A and B are shown apart, each in its own frame.
Chain A
Amino acid sequence: MKSFKIASRNIMREKKRTFLLAGAIAFGVLIIILLNGLSQGLVGNIKDNLSHLLSGHIFISADEILPTGLAEEVIRDDKLLKDALKDLEIPYQSISTRSSATGEIIFGSKTVRRIDIDGVDFDQDPDFLKSLNIVSGSLDTINEPNHIIITDKTAQKLNIEAGEEVLFKTTTTTGQNNVDSFIVSATFKGNEIIDVDAGYGNLASINRIINLRDKEFQTFSIMLKDMEDMEGFTDKIYSYMEERVKVAERFRIDFSDIEAMMNFSDDDEEKTDEEESDEEDENPLTKMMAMGMFGGKVDPARAGEITYSVTNINDMLSIIFSVISAINFTATVIFFILIIIIMVGITNTFRMVLIERFKEIGTMRAMGMQRPIVLRIFLLEAIFIGLLGSFMGIALGILIGNAFSLISFADFNFLSLFLYKDHFTYSLPVAGMVSTLIIIPILCIIAAFFPSRKASKIDPAKALSTNF
């Protein structure tokens, strides 16, 4: 306590020097706290946005080999999946079973050449419709056969209104081309996060056009109560299924697919002309939504073989996360380079302090101060400077991070996946803060140790005989 008092008095003696040293530390801490908090917020936003868009955190799909040797994406029975949820006691908020058809939608002379229409079991997922922002029309008829809803932007491109009939042309996973007519019950505000042409219909209607039966589906999505547990539960589900059925290796989408998935409206508009084309539909979103891969023709003898896939949002975003990790790593490297420079500064400052206080240390030793107390006082001063710098850096980091999150990026569409309501999110990097408050004082102790030990070894008689 006495050493504490003396050390705190000492660091306040040379206020400018103390604040300059602490300021240098604060600068390093500021960088790490700011980048940590922003990247943490970024990751959270990406996960939230995608889980909202894809109606889940964990996805299960399956490829079944048909007698023709072609693989079809389909899950015909959800018993195994529901058993897994029950047996593993997965705390989920909702589950949804979906199919997806990707193709082109035609109205008169207008064509939208790439649209994803999801089949949703609205009875099973009643909150889904509530989450949509209806622009025109009504949802009353959505459960009727061949009724769909599309985004307002798609409707504008086709120049249609709710109640009108369109043609939807799609290719099944086995390569069959199907066409059917659908009535547009309503238009809803398109998702701003990933600006694609999209629509929804009831599961049975969409299943029909992709040759599935009423209760069959392609993707089983699980929305967890807490996204934090996603990895653990994905692993549990994977292991559970692996024990019972054939499961493909964890699928991780690559970064180019994410970029392609985020195709923007500008590109689409170019393609709404009346020209016909035989181009294959390669929208990776289809692949992503279906969570399966188009396989080539295999030996028909394997007919009936089903391979499940279990994946989650993290798997899809592993590349984005590795980019974010690289940013964090770079920030950490910069931080440590700064800290090494600062440590050299601290060592040098303490050597100066040692010279300045040479006589004073001699006086204190003469008056009865023990050697370990001299060492302790010096080290405490280093800790105080470290803590002062850390707190200053953390406070500044939080302040700047939060100020940054007040800036609206509404005009930057390409950032929409990373934003929450047009703003970056600054998430308090608690782990970073705690580790900073531990690491920095330890580094300060290391930096100040040798001058401090030298101070504790000062011979009082020699110190008192000096004239400086």
Chain B
Amino acid sequence: MSIVSLSNVKKNYPLGKTEVKAVKGVSFEVEKGDFISIAGPSGSGKSTILNMIGLIDTPTEGEVSIEGAVTSHLNDRQLTTLRHKTIGFIFQSFNLIPVLNVYENIDFPLLLGKIPFSKAEKEEWINFLIEEVGLTEWRNHRPNELSGGQRQRVAIARALVTKPKIVLADEPTANLDSKTGEAIIELMKKINKEIDTTFIFSTHDPTIVSIADHIIRLQDGLITEDSKTGISAGASR
């Protein structure tokens, strides 16, 4: 069973008096443990698709399923709960809370819902994540004292703290230099292998795309290539 499934998903946005068709009918599946890249130029619909997988946006048409369960009938509270339990987010501009230090930023999502472990286990888990992303010496520093790469490492650890099944990363390397960007993707891949979490990230950087096991290419709101199914341009229309 696929962990994420999109079936003929369409998304239209109103723009003044007209309507923009951001996603024009996309179907693909993501298997558990996948390290998948959604690639494409700006405006191809990458972020919109990630938002719909992340349940922070709803499709105009079609269906998004998480772990086999359709999500279209869920209300905001149920979607939020599902998001908290199942999905971790990594953002292009890190979105860390400036007044909290590294440890507190990573801990923050645990304040938002039920914690699946004890206080000691929680501390051990956060310390493990800090070590995993290589920030042991920086655990008491605030975001403004960290480099871009370090901030994104904090964001990775934060995305993983609730032990989600899926981590979504929207252009995680866009604000980083290419070397740091590659290091971040390598780190994500390492964690993907170690703790068997599904990573879905969007990028328009061809070097980074090639690191993924499964690549979905988009153009103008449509899939032009799905490396797993072998679908090429126009096939999903």
Assembly CA distance A460 to B57 (angstroms): 8
Contact with A359, one of B57, B95, B158 (Cβ below 8 angstroms): B95
> Which listed segment binds A: B33-41, B83-91, B130-138, B194-202?
B83-91
B112 touches A371 (CB 8 A): no
Which residues from A are CB-within-8-Å of B99?
A: 9, 12-13
Assembly CA distance A373 to B57 (angstroms): 20
Shortest Cβ gap from B49 to chain A (Å): 12
A366 touches B108 (CB 8 A): no
B81 touches A368 (CB 8 A): yes
Which residues from B are CB-within-8-Å of A9?
A: 99-100
8 Å CB contacts to A: which residues of B91-125?
91, 95, 97-100, 108-109, 111-113
B57 touches A365 (CB 8 A): no
Which residues from A are CB-within-8-Å of B180?
A: none
With an 8 A cutoff between CB atoms, is A135 at the interface? no
Assembly CA distance A9 to B111 (angstroms): 13
A465 touches B54 (CB 8 A): no
With an 8 A cutoff between CB atoms, is B219 at the interface? no
With an 8 A cutoff between CB atoms, is B47 at the interface? yes
Q: Which residue of B lies closest to A373 (CB)?
A: B112
Contact with A368, one of B47, B97, B100, B162 (Cβ below 8 angstroms): B162
With an 8 A cutoff between CB atoms, is B56 at the interface? yes
Assembly CA distance A407 to B221 (angstroms): 80
Assembly CA distance A367 to B84 (angstroms): 6
Q: Mark B63-87, 1 if CB is under 8 A from A, else 0.
A: 0000000000000110011011100
Most chain B CB atoms below 10 A, which of A13, A371, A464, A465: A464
A366 touches B56 (CB 8 A): yes
Q: Which residue of A lies closest to B94 (CB)?
A: A363
Given contacts A13-B99, A369-B80, contact A5 B111 (CB under 8 A): yes
Contact with B80, one of A12, A13, A368, A465 (Cβ below 8 angstroms): A368
Assembly CA distance A362 to B81 (angstroms): 15
A460 touches B113 (CB 8 A): no
Assembly CA distance A368 to B146 (angstroms): 25
A371 touches B89 (CB 8 A): no
B95 touches A360 (CB 8 A): yes
Which residues from B are CB-within-8-Å of A461?
A: 51, 56-57
A367 touches B109 (CB 8 A): yes
Assembly CA distance A81 to B91 (angstroms): 87
Q: Which residue of B lies closest to A364 (CB)?
A: B112
Given contacts A2-B111, A13-B99, A464-B91, contact A366 B57 (CB under 8 A): no
Contact with A363, one of B51, B95, B100 (Cβ below 8 angstroms): B95
Contact residues on A (Cβ < 8 Å of other chain), bracket: 20 to 34
With an 8 A cutoff between CB atoms, is A322 at the interface? no
Contact with B112, one of A2, A460, A464, A465 (Cβ below 8 angstroms): A2
Given contacts A371-B77, A460-B56, contact A366 B89 (CB under 8 A): yes
Shortest Cβ gap from B40 to chain A (Å): 17
B83 touches A368 (CB 8 A): yes
B54 touches A366 (CB 8 A): yes
Q: Which residue of A lies closest to B98 (CB)?
A: A13
Which residues from A are CB-within-8-Å of B97?
A: 360
Given contacts A5-B111, A373-B112, contact A365 B80 (CB under 8 A): yes
8 Å CB contacts to B: which residues of A1-32?
2, 5-6, 9, 12-13
8 Å CB contacts to B: which residues of A413-468?
460-461, 464-465
With an 8 A cutoff between CB atoms, is A370 at the interface? yes
Which residues from A are CB-within-8-Å of B57?
A: 461
Assembly CA distance A398 to B154 (angstroms): 48
Which residues from A are CB-within-8-Å of B111?
A: 2, 5-6
8 Å CB contacts to B: which residues of A323-361?
359-360
Assembly CA distance A256 to B112 (angstroms): 68
Assembly CA distance A2 to B113 (angstroms): 9
Which residues from B are CB-within-8-Å of A365?
A: 56, 80
Which residues from A are CB-within-8-Å of B158?
A: 367
A367 touches B108 (CB 8 A): yes
Which residues from B are CB-within-8-Å of A371?
A: 76-77, 80
Given contacts A460-B56, A461-B56, A461-B57, contact A368 B95 (CB under 8 A): no
Most chain A CB atoms below 10 A, which of B76, B100, B112: B112
Which residues from A are CB-within-8-Å of B100?
A: 9
Shortest Cβ gap from B220 to chain A (Å): 19
Q: Which residue of B lies closest to A372 (CB)?
A: B77
Which residues from B are CB-within-8-Å of A464?
A: 51, 56, 91, 95
A369 touches B112 (CB 8 A): yes
Assembly CA distance A137 to B100 (angstroms): 81
Which residues from B are CB-within-8-Å of A460?
A: 56
Shortest Cβ gap from B52 to chain A (Å): 9
Which residues from B are CB-within-8-Å of A363?
A: 89, 91, 95
Assembly CA distance A393 to B143 (angstroms): 36
Shortest Cβ gap from A9 to chain B (Å): 7
B77 touches A368 (CB 8 A): no
A-B pairs, 10 with minimum CB distance: A368-B84, A461-B57, A460-B56, A363-B95, A2-B111, A461-B51, A367-B109, A461-B56, A368-B112, A369-B112
What are 14 A-to-B residue pairs whose CB atoms are below 8 Å?
Answer: A2-B111, A6-B111, A9-B99, A363-B89, A367-B158, A368-B81, A368-B112, A369-B112, A370-B80, A370-B112, A371-B80, A461-B56, A464-B51, A465-B47
Q: Which residues of A contact B (CB under 8 A)?
A: 2, 5-6, 9, 12-13, 359-360, 362-371, 373, 460-461, 464-465
Seed contacts A2-B112, A367-B89; 8 additional CB < 8 Å A-B pairs: A5-B111, A9-B100, A362-B56, A363-B89, A366-B83, A367-B108, A461-B51, A464-B95
